[in-house]
């Protein structure tokens, strides 16, 4: 299953700098059990979006724990247009 993570830096330059240092050190990779599909940062550097794939909720919790001290995080399951079209086809009958 795919999950969209949205993140926003806490409004403290010291915290943001710690996040940058942590990202440089770790590459911002998720823990085992979650696969990074893509990552996008807002042009104003206020936050961004991460697309993860996982069947392990513990991996998502570990990811949130690894970064939650530096930023506000939200993790939501998402479906792509192809999967959504299948659902809409079924419910339209």
CA-closest candidate to residue 38, choices 28, 47, 46, 25: 28
Q: Are 63 and 34 in contact (CB under 8 A)?
A: yes
* pLDDT bucket at 13, cuts 50 / 70 / 90: confident
Q: Is residue 16 pLDDT above 90, yes or no?
A: no
Q: Would you give the distance in Å from CA 25 to the centre of its chain?
A: 18
pTM: 0.87
Quick: pLDDT tens for 19-71. 999 999 999 999 999 999 999 999 988 899 999 999 999 999 999 999 999 99
Fold of 2-91: Alpha-Beta Plaits (3.30.70)
> How many CB atoms neighbour CB 58 within 10 A?
12
Say if residues 54 and 78 touch (Cβ distance below 8 Å): no
In DSSP notation, 27-47 reads TTPPPTTEEEEEEEE-TTSSE
Please report the pLDDT score of residue 58 as a whole number: 97
């Amino acid at each position: 299953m795919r999950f969209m993570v949205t993140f926003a830096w806490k409004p403290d330059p010291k915290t943001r700098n710690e996040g940058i240092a942590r990202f440089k050190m770790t590459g911002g990779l998720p823990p085992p059990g979650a696969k990074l599909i893509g990552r996008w940062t807002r042009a104003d550097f206020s936050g961004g979006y991460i697309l993860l794939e996982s069947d392990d909720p513990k991996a998502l919790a570990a990811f949130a724990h690894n970064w939650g001290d530096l930023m506000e995080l939200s993790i939501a399951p998402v479906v792509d247009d192809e999967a959504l079209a299948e659902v809409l086809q079924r419910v339209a009958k």
